[in-house]
């Protein structure tokens, strides 16, 4: 027999990993674990424990404490007490602690890898070669950030006590993603690991003990969903960082809406894996193995939707089936295994149910004839072809080793199919034509795009989603900002409550019949003046009570029309930054020419001194954002692979803006200009103090070459229009600069499509202070970072 024939017929023998060290570690703890609070191991307040088991065998590994509200409270108290001491340490000392954590992770790498595999069911090759090295990488990388934090973020401070909730698919890696940046930026932490996979988090608590991390800096409380809920709702937690399902993300957004908690969410995904006809199909197939069968498909960014150009669909499917037939399923501790166990019976049942429903909806199911273990929770690698784009298996996250295949004809079709989902976490583009690959990558609504590669991660490169995949980033500079706040903002005073709007808008309350009305303006929608759908107006009065004029009373239909106009103005985002800057410069020029008349009218509402100051500062503010337009750009990261990661600042999309009432002109320009500068479109509700400014603004926009629909202005009662904007699923973000009650409404009403929310948290902002009211803080919220990974070299 030739060597080639032997290679083809060769079978892999078992290559078991010895679990002795992990079992010894479990026995040393009596196979029972309490919480890690204030640097010590504590018993649960209720005395309750739950079991964690090896999903590949069903055998119990240990009993773990069930956290209660009392346990969470004790952990938060410990973190709060430790916070000032941790924060005042020098940057170098904090960096040394993170460096020590990285070193200890490396020293215990084999124990951690085996423990992770036993608790989670993933193949030991993945735990050993991917997860644990990345854990160490995150602590090393953030040790560096801790060292240079004062120079790089001089005007920022830590959020405070951070509550972190992590999932079961990458237990220790998700812990590192959360804890490393939190500690580097001076926060203290209460972390709740997943109920199914708590063991490596408890092993990490032991590492914190080993390095002498100050008590209370890291606290770990185990438990089920009720434990996480208690952490989310605790009043003394300053930030929540959550990775998990979109459904739970919505619940957390709602639960934190009435508070000032900062929030970052990394949620579900249904990532497209796009293959063009010129792609290297052998590389594509290996990419698919990593994209959907890595960790049994239990990956939020798994390439679970295969989109193939029609001309290569048949040969690609044939190669995929051949490769699937060589995958090996078995004991996760076997180093020659590709497919490990599903984490829990609940998840296995979900996979089976969704696949059955997909078949019922017309999909063709194919599974290889490979040997599957008779014991444990296993599911074979599965290919579903002929999938309709609206099928449940094309729209819902299965979180299992299931690939749904569809075809497309043109790059435009591919983009449309790729974006045909509520999610936007990650994607892959495979093409030997770099022009095609990057052109498509720029159009995909996803936080990460891998070109001719898949599932690459690094601490230097931000990771996070668009749309219902959440908001915020983990890793990189943008990931650090999730754990920082501007110093001035944290200490800003609260605004007084706004006057309540009428319960109902009817003719008796709003159709004012006073004589001698000087001015009546219209709505501004799609670049045109428009009458309100309601047919009603509201009177505007000056400082001395005199009538200044009327503005339209906007309603739900007016907002709908404004959103449609904003969505149609997508060409604004596609224009170059230079061209957008020219339009903004032109605005500043035109406002300067009309300085006196605008100030004179504004003075009737707010006084001559403030009016003059607002117009002058407004001209300068427009000029500043014109300057920023082509300078707030991205970066190129150099991860430790043969790749570059292009971090692009992209516009969020359509933004609903509630303007501050205390500065009718300057406040409007301060919040709308950064939205425009970054290529977004806006639906703006102006200040109720002087909404007549609309008449001056739409004349300004009309004469400055701003495309119709880029800015749309709807006047009326802010509280009523905020509700419509926040609930509208075609609005991508809400900016609300108002009192605390309005801010809470913006958060709670926006959970339908999990739109991003940027607010003043009900705090007063000095709109005349450039350090507070202008610059990067606003621009960061007007953009989202997309990392496009591009390989290089042969």
The conformational region for residue 121 under phi > 0 = left, psi -120 to 50 = alpha, else beta, is left
SS3 of 80-127:
HHHHHHHHHCCHHHHHHHHHHHHHHHHHCHHHHHHHHHHHHCCCHHHH
Indicate which residue of 126, 266, 662, 761 is catalytic.
266
Give the other-Cβ count within 10 Å of 490's Cβ: 17
The tokens for 242 are 């959550």
Q: By the 8 A CB rule, do 425 and 269 touch? A: yes
Strand order from edge to edge, sheet including 49-53: 32-33, 60-65, 49-53
Cα three-residue angle 76-81-85, rounded to 5 degrees: 130
49, 1, 61: which is closest to 25 by C-alpha? Answer: 61
Q: Is 688 among the catalytic positions?
A: no
- CA 751 – CA 239 distance, rounded (Å): 18
- CA atoms of 683 and 672, how far apart (whole Å): 9
Please state, in angstroms and rounded to a whole number, the distance separating the CA atoms of residues 406 and 387: 6
Contact 469, 425 (CB under 8 A): yes
Other Cβ atoms closer than 10 A to 455: 21
Going from the C-alpha of 639 to that of each of 138, 287, 650, the distances in angstroms are 12, 19, 21
- 193 token code pair: 């690991």
Chain-centroid distance of CA 612 in Å reads 41
Closest alpha carbon to 622 in 594, 588, 595, 672: 588
266 is catalytic: yes
The CA radius of gyration of the chain, in Å to the nearest whole number, is 28
Which among 17, 116, 229, 300 is annotated as catalytic? 300
Q: Is 357 helix (H, G, I), strand (E, B) or coil?
A: helix
Query: How is residue 455 annotated by DSSP?
Result: S
How many whole angstroms separate alpha carbon 239 and alpha carbon 85? 19
CA 530 to chain centre: 36
Going by the DSSP 8-state scheme, the letter that residue 762 receives in this structure is T
Return all residues near 326 (Cβ < 8 A) that are at least 6 apart.
none
Q: Where are the beta strands (DSSP E) in 493-630?
A: 523-525, 528-530, 537-541, 547-552
Active site members: 266, 300
């Amino acid at each position: 027999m030739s060597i080639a024939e032997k290679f083809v017929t060769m079978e892999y023998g078992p290559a078991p990993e010895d679990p002795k060290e992990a079992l010894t570690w479990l026995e040393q703890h009596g196979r029972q674990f309490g919480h890690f609070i204030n640097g010590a191991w504590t018993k649960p307040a209720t005395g309750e424990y739950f079991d964690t088991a090896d999903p590949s065998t069903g055998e119990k590994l240990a009993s773990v404490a069930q956290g209660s509200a009392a346990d969470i409270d004790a952990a938060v108290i410990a973190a709060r007490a430790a916070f000032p001491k941790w924060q005042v340490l020098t940057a170098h000392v904090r960096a040394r602690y993170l460096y020590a954590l990285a070193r200890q992770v490396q020293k215990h790498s084999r124990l951690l890898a085996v423990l992770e595999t036993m608790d989670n069911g993933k193949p030991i090759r993945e735990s050993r070669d991917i997860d644990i090295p990345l854990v160490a990488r995150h602590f090393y990388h953030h040790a560096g950030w801790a060292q240079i934090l004062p120079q790089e973020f001089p005007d920022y401070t830590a959020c405070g006590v951070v509550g972190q909730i992590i999932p079961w698919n990458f237990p220790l890696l998700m812990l590192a993603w959360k804890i490393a940046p939190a500690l580097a930026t001076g926060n203290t932490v209460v972390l709740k690991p997943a109920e199914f996979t708590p063991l490596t988090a408890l092993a990490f608590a032991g590492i914190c003990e080993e390095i002498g991390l100050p008590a209370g800096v890291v606290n770990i409380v185990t438990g089920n969903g009720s434990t996480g809920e208690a952490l989310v709702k605790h009043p003394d937690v300053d930030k929540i960082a959550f990775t998990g399902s979109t459904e739970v993300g919505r619940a957390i957004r709602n639960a934190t809406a009435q508070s000032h908690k900062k929030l970052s969410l990394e949620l579900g995904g249904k990532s497209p894996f796009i293959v063009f006809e010129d792609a290297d199909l052998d590389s594509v197939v290996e990419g698919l193995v990593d994209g959907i069968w890595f960790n049994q498909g239990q990956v939020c960014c798994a390439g679970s939707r295969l989109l193939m150009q029609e001309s290569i669909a048949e040969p690609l499917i044939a190669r995929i089936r051949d490769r699937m037939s060589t995958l090996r399923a078995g004991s996760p501790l076997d180093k020659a295994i590709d497919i490990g166990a599903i984490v829990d019976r609940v998840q296995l049942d979900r996979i089976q149910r969704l696949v059955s429903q997909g078949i019922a909806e017309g999909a063709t199911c194919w599974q290889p004839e490979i040997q599957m273990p008779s014991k444990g929770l296993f599911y074979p690698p599965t290919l579903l072809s002929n999938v309709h784009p609206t099928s449940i298996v094309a729209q819902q996250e299965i979180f299992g080793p299931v690939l749904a295949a569809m075809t497309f004809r043109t790059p435009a079709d591919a983009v449309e199919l790729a974006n045909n989902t509520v999610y936007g976490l990650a994607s892959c583009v495979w093409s030997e034509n770099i022009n095609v690959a990057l052109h498509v990558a720029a159009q995909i609504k996803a936080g990460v795009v891998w070109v001719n590669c898949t599932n690459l991660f690094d601490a230097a490169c931000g990771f996070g989603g668009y749309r219902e995949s959440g908001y915020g980033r983990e890793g990189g500079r943008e990931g650090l900002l999730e754990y920082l706040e501007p110093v001035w903002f944290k200490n800003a005073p609260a605004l007084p409550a706004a006057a309540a709007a009428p319960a109902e808008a009817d003719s008796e309350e709003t159709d004012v019949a006073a004589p001698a009305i000087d001015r009546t303006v219209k709505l501004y929608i799609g670049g045109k003046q428009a009458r309100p759908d309601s047919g009603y107006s509201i009177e505007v009065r000056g400082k001395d009570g005199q009538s200044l004029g009327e503005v339209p009373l906007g309603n739900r239909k007016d907002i709908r029309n404004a959103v449609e106009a904003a969505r149609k103005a997508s060409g604004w985002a596609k224009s170059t930054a230079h061209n957008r800057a020219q339009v903004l410069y032109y605005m500043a020029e035109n406002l300067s020419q009309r300085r006196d008349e605008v100030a004179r009218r504004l003075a009737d509402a707010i006084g001559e001194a403030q009016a003059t100051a607002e117009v002058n500062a407004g001209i300068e503010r427009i000029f500043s954002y014109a300057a920023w337009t082509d300078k707030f750009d991205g970066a190129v990261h150099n991860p430790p692979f043969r790749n570059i990661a292009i971090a692009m600042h992209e516009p969020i999309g359509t933004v609903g803006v509630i303007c501050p009432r205390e500065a009718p002109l300057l406040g409007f320009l301060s919040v709308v200009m950064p939205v425009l500068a970054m290529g977004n479109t806006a639906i703006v509700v102006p200040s109720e103090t002087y909404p007549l400014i609309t008449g001056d603004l739409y004349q300004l926009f009309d004469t400055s070459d701003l495309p119709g629909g880029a800015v749309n202005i709807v006047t009326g009662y802010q509280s009523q229009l905020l509700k419509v904007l926040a609930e509208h699923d075609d609005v991508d973000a809400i900016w609300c600069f108002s009192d605390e009650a309005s801010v809470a409404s913006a958060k709670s009403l926006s959970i339908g499509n999990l739109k991003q929310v940027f607010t003043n948290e009900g705090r007063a902002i000095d709109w005349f202070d450039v350090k507070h009211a202008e610059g990067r803080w606003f621009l960061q919220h007007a953009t989202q970072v997309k990392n496009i990974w591009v390989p290089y070299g042969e």
